[in-house]
A and B are shown apart, each in its own frame.
Chain A
């Protein structure tokens, strides 16, 4: 049975992308979305918000995406949360590498905000459907 996908936490340091993605995910996908801008807040908000999915930007100042993933996996309360990476660099070997780290999938940036919700649904169906 496909687990519920209602709550999404988006970790993205660019405030403009935060705004437009949150709007599009809520308006088009009907998701309940929270955003944060760095790794530390990501860990705090995962605990507090209990998202069903985390959208994680790879390139961020301070803790980058992979570092956040590692920290999440190290914490038993958060290690099960599925993660989708977002990155501008998407060579096949990099995608493989991120999946090895434990990511569900990798979405390339820039994404079209209006199509983001569909992409996430597709990924979710593929994994759990």
Chain B
């Protein structure tokens, strides 16, 4: 078969994509060059190399259309330039500034070309924290918080430093932050937070306020509560817990809305249910044809099915039985809606796989409360069954099941799918050296990073002790590799904390794609093999099957 000639534009796009794949490696190189400087005394050779690498990256990035990244690299280059010929050691502030700019270089948003159309796999579902406000205001003095500032950048938060309450107020009004952080040891806090109370009638909630203090005693904590702080961390601040708290407190972490599948052949009624439940913040899909229900279950994964009892071609009872035949749907709540007032019919419905019976006509509030209660419980129960308690990711069984169903979907849609096996390098050593609680913390950090950086449509599971599995629907192997490589790079920069000392960990991963590997068994086998290759070739890398 002769393939059509590829246009110059297409070839350019491919060159850009290749460059994008190499970007994390180039940023890595710059980071290593910096580490060489930071760890040894200032050395003219190291300094020149570091400067030259940033200069090159600025030039190359711009040539390929990565305008924002180029700017950051250029800033770093210009900042470092005066130090290159000099023999003076850098001050801690200067080091922190450099580290902050380095952290910015590693940001995935910069590594996305501004002038180029993103490939469909990336736009299909963006990483979870994408448009959210990630700006933090930090009120502190001196350089004690510098490391925290640099590290928090890896979790996609940007810190704006202020030194006085007046500056804080100014910045606050200039652009509303996601949260306010205050070093409570250095500033009197009584009554100061009133300025940040949002006026009644304002739609946006007040940003949460977090205090840091070296004192953990009751009196210090009471002071913070009375001042109006939302959280309190004792120093040295545990980065992982801080990020957890920030994510929790910031409004963009609202839980995912419940998904309700409405099976109702009367269109007006279906519309009424949908409108009512949507007002309560739920997501609704309506099907009038029972044949479409199974597909919706598989594709859309609703939390609850609201079903009419009597439908022209298939009764609600029969449909419920069919649904319950499948293991995966044994526990999904089914709520019947019917004008049926005969008790024995209602009871029969309940015994045949229904969880609740609501009679029509139904009041909106009643519908909302019944559905919410059931959806909530089902959601919680499913999480318990499907999820790993430490990381919140899917557990081994669940992710294996998901792989099967995603392959079915990819087969039906003739679309791509990638499967990744990921493993933390030398994890046993972490547990042995720092203890299991620290090991757990590392796992949680990786889990959070994966959830932040992968797309909403990607499915993440904890496969075993330090092993993770990821399903990337509609991603080819090179696309999956690109996405995972960026995670790999970020993860390697994070300074993991322990009571002894800070340390860094890396990960390796193997990628296999459908349809090159056509079923779950061969896909996971190939990904596993590729992971082994990655380890064998030196770890801290992503290998393709």
Q: Do A and B bind each other?
A: yes
Q: List 11 A-B contacts (CB under 8 A).
A: A13-B56, A17-B63, A19-B15, A20-B12, A20-B63, A23-B11, A61-B52, A88-B58, A110-B62, A111-B63, A112-B63
Q: Tell me which residues from 1 to 46 in chain B have a Cβ below 8 Å from any Cβ of chain A.
A: 8, 11-12, 15, 19, 22
Within the assembled complex, what's the spacing in Å between the Cα atoms of A109 and B64? 12
Residues of B within 8 A of A61 (CB): 52
Is B8 in contact with A110, judged by CB distance below 8 angstroms? Answer: no
- Contact among A20, A27, A28, A88 for B64, CB-based, below 8 A: A20
Residue of B nearest to A57 (CB): B59
CA distance in complex: A59, B58 (Å):
13
Most buried by B among A20, A109, A112: A20
CB distance from B528 to the nearest CB of A (A): 32
Kindly identify, within residues 11 to 25 of chain A, every residue whose CB is under 8 Å from any CB belonging to chain B: 13-14, 16-17, 19-21, 23-24
Residues of A near B328 (CB, < 8 A) are: none
The reply to whether the CB of B124 lies closer than 8 angstroms to some CB of chain A is no
Contact A17 B60 (CB under 8 A): yes
Q: Is the CB of B11 within 8 A of A16?
A: no
Q: Which of A16, A21, A88, A111 contacts B55 (CB 8 A)?
A: A88
Interface residues in A41-78 by Cβ distance below 8 A to B read 59, 61
Q: Is there contact, CB below 8 Å, between B12 and A113? A: yes
A28 contact set on B, CB distance < 8 A: 8
Q: Does A114 contact B (CB under 8 A)?
A: yes
**Complex Cα distance A110/B22, Å?**
18
Q: Verify if B70 is at the interface (C-beta below 8 Å from A).
A: yes
Residues of A within 8 A of B (CB): 13-14, 16-17, 19-21, 23-24, 27-28, 59, 61, 88, 109-114
Q: How many A-B Cβ pairs are below 8 Å? A: 46
Given contacts A59-B55, A61-B52, A88-B55, contact A27 B8 (CB under 8 A): yes
Q: Does A14 lie within 8 Å of B59, measured CB to CB?
A: yes
**List of 8 A-B pairs having minimum Cβ-Cβ separation, nearest first:** A110-B62, A110-B63, A16-B60, A27-B8, A14-B56, A14-B60, A109-B59, A20-B15
Cβ contact of A110, chosen from B19, B52, B70, cutoff 8 A: B70
Distance in angstroms between the alpha carbons of A59 and B11 in the assembled complex: 28
CB proximity of B7 to chain A, nearest CB, Å: 10
For the complex, give the distance between the alpha carbons of A27 and B58 in Å. 25
Query: B12 contacts A24, CB within 8 Å?
Result: yes
A124 vs chain B, min Cβ distance (A):
21
Closest partner residue, chain B, to A114 (CB atom): B12
CB < 8 Å neighbour of B59 from A19, A88, A113: A88
Residues of chain B within 8 A (CB-CB) of A111 are: 63
What's the nearest-Cβ distance from chain B to residue A1, in Å? Answer: 30
Query: In the complex, A1 Cα to B60 Cα: how many Å?
Result: 36
Give A86's nearest chain B residue, CB to CB.
Answer: B59
Residue of B nearest to A26 (CB): B8
> Considering only CB atoms, which chain B residue lies closest to A20 in the complex?
B15
Q: B57-74, CB under 8 A of A: which get 1 and which 0?
A: 011101110000010000
A80 to chain B, nearest CB (A): 29
B-chain residues with CB within 8 Å of residue A20 when the two chains form the complex: 12, 15, 19, 63-64
Known pairs A109-B63, A110-B62, A110-B63; A23 contacts B56 (CB<8 A): no
Q: Complex formed: what's the CA distance from A16 to B70 in Å?
A: 14
A27 to B10, CA, bound (A): 12
Closest-CB distance, B110 to chain A (whole angstroms):
15
Q: Are A16 and B22 neighbours in the complex by a CB distance under 8 Å? A: yes
Bound form: Cα–Cα A111–B59 in Å: 9
Closest A residue to B115 by beta carbon equals A112
- Compute how far the CA of A21 lies from the CA of B12 in the bound complex, rounded to whole angstroms: 10
